Amino acid sequence: MSELKLKQKKWGLLFLALHLLLMSQVLWWGIVLCRDVNALKQLKIQNHSLQVQTGMAKQSPEIDYEKESLHQKVMFISESVFFVLVASLALWILFRALRSEEKMRKTQRSFIEVITHESKTPLTALKLRLESVKEKMGDSPLVYDLGRALFEVKRLAGILEKSLELNRLERYSFSFDSIDLSQLVLELLKRMDPVFKEKNITVTTCLVEGVLVKGDSFGLQNSIQSLLENSVLYNDSPEKTLSVELRQDMNSAVLIVKDNGPGIPDKDEPFIFERFYRGKAGKKVPGTGLGLYLSKQIVAAHQGALRLVHSAKGAQFEIKLPLQWEAT
């Protein structure tokens, strides 16, 4: 069953439950009212019988009591039917509106996914061609312009990557498998090694081997990579350092990424995990303001936590994920 049909089925069941609850409530009111009307009718009849026996009544009003009780019942039934019809119509209109909105959201997400996915291939090819041309230009005056063009291509590729990840996050399309987090971090550091060398960053690692977690490999890589990229881009120290530590703490895997950059100002700390938020330092570095937001949301989807740790120097982030123990 597709995701859209599953959501529609959930909405349908919810509104059906609300409708049944409404009907049962009205039925209960009807039963209670009929019981009270009958009790009142019997009380009036008994009262009239007593008056007749004592000679205080001149005529029998039983027929009037019957008409009064019947009138109250008819009035309640007609008002209840009208109320149920109006409420049912309102629920149906609301259900149609929500289902239509869900279809539009599905179409929008599909469009974004197609655009971002199909744009990655030509952008990758363009980046490789620009890098190749830049290497062949030597000391040509055009090297600077090629470098700027290559930077903008990489920036656009990063924006598309973040958009694709945001779309995946909103669709909850994660694939959870057993992952060796130690190996994943090592591969990620190896892939980013050219960036570290280009920025003259000294990387130190302390990784415990065999740390297993259950998660989405692509999502976790993007989360950790965002932290590493921020440590690279925002570090303006003369001698840049980056520390990556992975350890086990009780039933959790703990990953710590720490740099010796300027750190995060106190006024920005409460907002750094919000969508599209970029602090004062963000004005100097191009970006989307989605990196930390996506990282936190992805880690939360893994039943984990991402937080900023106060540090005397630089910025320090900590990711905690539940461990997956090997079967014995």
Higher pLDDT: 204 or 314? It is: 204
For the chain, percent of residues with pLDDT exceeding 90 = 18
Please tell me the predicted confidence (pLDDT) of residue 327. Answer: 46
Return mean pLDDT, the chain.
77
Residue ranges per structural domain of the chain:
3-106, 116-171, 177-322
pTM comes to 0.58
Is the pLDDT assigned to residue 278 strictly greater than 50?
A: yes
Tens of pLDDT, residue by residue over 148-177, are 787 777 777 777 777 666 666 666 567 888
pLDDT band at 7 (very low <50, low <70, confident <90, very high): low
Please tell me the predicted confidence (pLDDT) of residue 37. Answer: 65
> Picking from 5-14, 38-47, 74-83, which range would have the lowest pLDDT averaged per residue?
5-14
Higher pLDDT: 304 or 85? It is: 304
Please tell me the predicted confidence (pLDDT) of residue 253. Answer: 94
Tens of pLDDT, residue by residue over 227-238, are 998 888 888 888
pLDDT band at 316 (very low <50, low <70, confident <90, very high): very high
Please tell me the predicted confidence (pLDDT) of residue 292. Answer: 87
Q: What is the CATH number of domain 177-322?
A: 3.30.565.10
Please tell me the predicted confidence (pLDDT) of residue 112. Answer: 62
pLDDT band at 2 (very low <50, low <70, confident <90, very high): very low
Tens of pLDDT, residue by residue over 111-155, are 666 666 666 667 777 777 777 777 777 777 777 777 778 777 777
Please tell me the predicted confidence (pLDDT) of residue 242. Answer: 94
Alpha-carbon distances, residue 65 vs 35, 47, 100, 132, 310 (angstroms) = 15, 12, 52, 100, 80
Work out the average pLDDT over 94-101: 76
Higher pLDDT: 6 or 139? It is: 139
Tens of pLDDT, residue by residue over 56-65, are 544 444 445 5
Is the pLDDT assigned to residue 249 strictly greater than 70?
A: yes
pLDDT band at 307 (very low <50, low <70, confident <90, very high): very high
Is the pLDDT assigned to residue 297 strictly greater than 50?
A: yes
- What contacts 211, CB < 8 A, 6 or more positions away? 180, 181, 182, 246, 247, 248, 253, 323
Strands 212-215 and 252-259: unpaired
Tens of pLDDT, residue by residue over 198-228, are 889 999 999 999 899 998 888 898 889 889 9
> Picking from 107-111, 255-259, 264-268, which range would have the lowest pLDDT averaged per residue?
107-111
